[in-house]
Each structure stands twice: as structure tokens, then as C-alpha cells.
């Protein structure tokens, strides 16, 4: 049973009482999580949508998670939101867990396990009256248990605050991060970087502002330390992808004579010197549904919804197609089932 994907185990637990008790036992679920089978059959794509109807429930947003291949509803929950222009950010999945950040610091961050139908709102944090928090960005990781990191920009003191949530204490604690904000030349925004690493040992953020990126902020979940990578040149509007804790790719999306293209560069480190090496320009990224929704897809949504979502196969290291988004408030995410509860 430890070798089976979670989707099979959730069906098998209905066979008899003994199998149910075995599969539901904390001991079995811990072993299954640590076993980390990495089975393709355990990977699905989840569509996450954010809907609101002021006539029925004013100032409420309904978060709905459903399977992409059969549109089966997995779970849903509501949260209050009065700032409709702030579309929540989604990070993960890590060990089957997805983190949803409403971006408004007065609304709790949510952790959910779609396969188990569980959702948990994390406690809010407070800062002194001297701080003016401009933005909150989060990441989820795993080291024996899940951890959540939030990075906040303080506009008054021009610095970053960082906090770590652990389930054991059910609270946040401060983390040391030495990084100042210098407007125009540096950054005032921090946004999560998508990654092919599903073990949750590292998390990465872009640091920039006004469509520019100047540095990468990395966090080691085990040792709980930050690392800042200064880019050799300031990047324009692009998407950065983490292939592992040390290697990155960046994608610059453009349009020429009606053809959507992607410029791809990868990082290179020589004697602690970070640089970019142009790999290729993919000039044929048409609209189409992926022929097979196999494991290894990551979706890059651009601000212009008419461009759709660029689908990148990080195992083949190539773009597959562009995929229509059902709405501007919908996202697709790769998720591998797990028994990690929230």
C-alpha cells in the first residue's frame, strides 16, 4: 500500500473497515509521506477560480478547486475581500499542499490539501504603528512538516520583514533578512518564483518593481536562512523559473508580426559569479490544449489575459502551447496528492 498513489488509496479505504483503519492511521500516513513515491499517476492539474457575486454575498470571494480532467469539485471555501483588484496568488504545491495568499494583509493566508478536502486559515500577524506594510508575498516548504514563510515590504523603513509559520507552535516568528529597499534603482515588490522542485526544501522570490527584476531572494527551509542573488543586469518584464535551488531560467514573452515568442535564458555560476546564457528563442507558441496533461507542466499567466497561459514542460525544458484561461481570475496548478494534513 505504501507504493500506491493517494488517489488509489482513497478508493481502497472503502473496500473494508480494516483497510480503512490502516490507511487512516497516522503511522501509515506518515510513512507514505516520507516514502515520496513520485508516481506520475498521483499527479493531477487543479483549476483554482475566484468568484464573487455582490447580489448574493457582498464582499465575499468563493475559492473553488476542481480537477482539470473531469471538472470534479474537490473543495471550496470563502473569505472576505473588499479589494477586488487584488487577485490572490497561489504557491505550491508542496507535498500536496497549496498556499493561497489573498495579498491583503488583513485577510488570513490559507493552506489547503485538495485531496483530503482540508483548509486552514493561518493566524494574522501585527506590526508596530511605525511600520507601513506595502505588500505580502508567501512561500510554502517542507522539512519534516510544512512551513510557511511570508515576506513583507515596509514602505516607511524601506526594508523587508520576514516571518515563519510552524504548525507545532501555530504562530509566526521573526526571521532575519538583511535587505534594504532603494526606490527606482532596486525594488519595492517581492513575488514568488515557480519551481520544478516539489520537495519544498527551498523557496525563491523575484525582487523588483515597475516591471523590473534586480535580485532573487532564496530561503532554505531546513536551515531557515535567506540568500540574496544580485542579477548581473536588471531584467525587464519576464518570468523566472527555478530548476533547483541553484539554477534558474527566465522567460521573456513578446510579440512580433502577430507571432507570440519566448526568449529563454538560463543561469550560469562560475566562481560565485552569476550570469545569464541565452538558450533559444521559441517563436511558435500557438493556442492549443496540451495533447496529454502529463506530469511536469507549469503555467505562466501574463497580465494580458488575451495571451492566455503559457504552458512549460519543465522535464522536456520546452514550451508546449498557450492555453485559454476560463477567466482572468482562474489559475492552473500541478498537484501531487499526499496525506499531509493541515
The predicted pLDDT at position 79 comes to 78
> Residue 98 has what pLDDT?
92
The whole-angstrom separation of Cα 183 and Cα 264 is 28
Nearest to 189 by CA among 171, 205, 207: 207
**Sheet of 309-313: strands edge to edge?**
297-301, 309-313, 318-323
Other CB atoms within 10 Å distance of the CB of residue 153 = 23
For residue 93, whether the previous peptide bond is cis, meaning omega lies within 30 degrees of 0, is yes
3 state DSSP class of 57:
coil
Task: Tell which residue, 213, 196, 178, has the closest CA to residue 248.
Answer: 196
Instruction: Tell me which DSSP letter residue 304 carries.
Output: S
User: What is the tens place of the pLDDT at every residue in 101-120?
Assistant: 987 888 899 999 988 888 99
pLDDT value of residue 261: 79
* Per-residue confidence band for 189, with pLDDT thresholds at 50, 70 and 90: confident
Task: Please state, for a pLDDT cut of 70, what percent of the chain lies above it.
Answer: 86
Residues 198-233 pLDDT 10s: 778 899 998 887 777 888 899 999 999 998 888 888
Backbone torsions φ then ψ of 194, nearest 5 degrees: -70, 150
Q: What is the DSSP string of 142-178?
A: EESEEEEEEEEEETTTTEEEEEEEETTTTEEEEE---
CA distance 286 to 275: 30
Question: Which segments of 185-224 does DSSP mark as H helices, in order?
Answer: none
**Range list of H helices, the chain:** 6-12, 17-24, 26-35
Sign of CA dihedral 303, 285, 296, 70: positive
Identify the bridge partners of residue 46 per DSSP, sorted by sequence position: 67, 333
- Residue pair 140/97 in contact (Cβ under 8 Å)? The answer is yes
CA distance linking residue 95 with residue 159, whole number of Å: 31
pLDDT in tens, 46-64: 888 887 766 656 677 788 8
pLDDT digits (tens, 9 = 90+) for 257-274: 767 778 888 888 766 678
Averaged pLDDT of the chain: 82
How high is the pLDDT of residue 279? 80
d(CA 162, CA 172): 10
What's the pLDDT band for 99 if we cut at 50, 70, 90?
very high
pLDDT digits (tens, 9 = 90+) for 299-341: 988 765 566 788 899 988 888 888 887 766 788 888 888 888 8
Q: What is the structure's pLDDT at 122?
A: 94
Q: Model's pTM, two decimal places?
A: 0.85
Amino acid at each position: 500500500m505504501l507504493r500506491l498513489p493517494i488517489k488509489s488509496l482513497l478508493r481502497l479505504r472503502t473496500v473494508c473497515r480494516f483497510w480503512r483503519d490502516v490507511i487512516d492511521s497516522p503511522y501509515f500516513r506518515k510513512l507514505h509521506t516520507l516514502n515520496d513515491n513520485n508516481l506520475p499517476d498521483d499527479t493531477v492539474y487543479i483549476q483554482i477560480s475566484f468568484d464573487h457575486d455582490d447580489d448574493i454575498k457582498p464582499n465575499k470571494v468563493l475559492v473553488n478547486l476542481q480537477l482539470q480532467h473531469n471538472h470534479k469539485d474537490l473543495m471550496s471555501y470563502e473569505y472576505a475581500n473588499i479589494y477586488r483588484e487584488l487577485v490572490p496568488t497561489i504557491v505550491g504545491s508542496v507535498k500536496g499542499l497549496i498556499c493561497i495568499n489573498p495579498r491583503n494583509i488583513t485577510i488570513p493566508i490559507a493552506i489547503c490539501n485538495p485531496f483530503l478536502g482540508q483548509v486552514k486559515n493561518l493566524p494574522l500577524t501585527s506590526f508596530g504603528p511605525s511600520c507601513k506594510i506595502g505588500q505580502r508575498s508567501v512561500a510554502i516548504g517542507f522539512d519534516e512538516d510544512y512551513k510557511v514563510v511570508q515576506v513583507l515590504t515596509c514602505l516607511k523603513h524601506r526594508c523587508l520583514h520576514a516571518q515563519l509559520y510552524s504548525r507545532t507552535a501555530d504562530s509566526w516568528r521573526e526571521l532575519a533578512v538583511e535587505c534594504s529597499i532603494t526606490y527606482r534603482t532596486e525594488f519595492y515588490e517581492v513575488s514568488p518564483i515557480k519551481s520544478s522542485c516539489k520537495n519544498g526544501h527551498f523557496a525563491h522570490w523575484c525582487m523588483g518593481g515597475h516591471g523590473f527584476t534586480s535580485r532573487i531572494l532564496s530561503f532554505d527551509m531546513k536551515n531557515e536562512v535567506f540568500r540574496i542573488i544580485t542579477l548581473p543586469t536588471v531584467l525587464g518584464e519576464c518570468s523566472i523559473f527555478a530548476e533547483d535551488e541553484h539554477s534558474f531560467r527566465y522567460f521573456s514573452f513578446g510579440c512580433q508580426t502577430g507571432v507570440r515568442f519566448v526568449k529563454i535564458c538560463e543561469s550560469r555560476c562560475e566562481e560565485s559569479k552569476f550570469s545569464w546564457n541565452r538558450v533559444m528563442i521559441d517563436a511558435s507558441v500557438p493556442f492549443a490544449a496540451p495533447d496529454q496533461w502529463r506530469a511536469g507542466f507549469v503555467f505562466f499567466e501574463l497580465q494580458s489575459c488575451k495571451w492566455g497561459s503559457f504552458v512549460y514542460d519543465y522535464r522536456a525544458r520546452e514550451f508546449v502551447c498557450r492555453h485559454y484561461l476560463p477567466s482572468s481570475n482562474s489559475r492552473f496548478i500541478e498537484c501531487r496528492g499526499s496525506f499531509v494534513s493541515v
